[in-house]
Amino acid sequence: MIRGIVFDFDGLILETEGPDYRSWRELYEGYGCALPLERWAGLIGTAEHGFDPYAELEAQLGRPLDRAEVRSRRRARYAELVAEEQVLPGVLDYISDARRLGLRLGVASSSSREWVVGHLESLGLLACFDALACRGDAPRTKPDPGLYLRVLEVLDVRPEEAIALEDSPNGVAAAKAAGLFCVAVPNDLTRDLPLSGADICLGSLATLPLPQLLERVRWAPTTGANG
């Protein structure tokens, strides 16, 4: 029996990942350099990575940069792009249906609590969630299962009683390692990344309402089948 739904945040509730990559790509292009998606992809959904975009840009240029100035410009552009985004399709319906059905709701995110709480507050969604687990609430971020295990602990829900909604390979790996049924909902940035570890893959949450998903989960074997 499903008792809880755990949302990723970036790229699942709000499309922040595309703007993040776009702001860096534009920055690189401004210096006549390139940042291919395959170089960036490993950063999506995790803080556990070894790629340093500042060092990479400096390596391509062959000289050091004023990182504080570059950071300021890049973050300003990122904030500008994120401000244009709205809650992704189907998210509000999932939240509404989950509350109506008496399900517990959580967020497991590799981003900082300040980032997640700030956006959820501005979207008017913070009060909808019973638990948040963000970077710093577990020893490691995704793909480690710690964030999922932490949010389940707060929700008082067992892994087999919860569904994870994810958009990235790192997120899917974390959810499955924690023992949850995982629904992958890729965005434009993650659509071509490997998500076969998920139990179900949807083009959008709007394509499969929560009551139908719950019925499907009831019968679906957790073997990583797309649908």
Distance (Å, rounded) from C-alpha 140 to C-alpha 110? 9
The model's pLDDT over 49-60, given as tens digits with 9 standing for 90+, comes to 778 999 999 999
Q: What is the pLDDT of residues 151-190, one digit of tens each?
A: 999 999 999 999 999 999 999 999 999 999 999 999 888 9
Q: Assess contact for 135 and 160: CB atoms under 8 A.
A: no
The pLDDT-based confidence of 220 (bands split at 50, 70, 90) is low
Name beta bridge partners: 135.
112
Task: State the catalytic residues.
Answer: 8, 10
- Tokens 């504080």 correspond to what residue? 68
pLDDT of residue 41: 84
At the topology level, CATH places domain 4-15+86-219 in Rossmann fold (3.40.50)
Domain definitions of the chain by residue range: 4-15+86-219, 17-82
What pLDDT, on a 0 to 100 scale, did the predictor assign at position 71? 95
Mean pLDDT for the chain?
93
| Nearest CA among 48, 15, 190 for reference residue 119 | 15
pLDDT score, position 129: 98
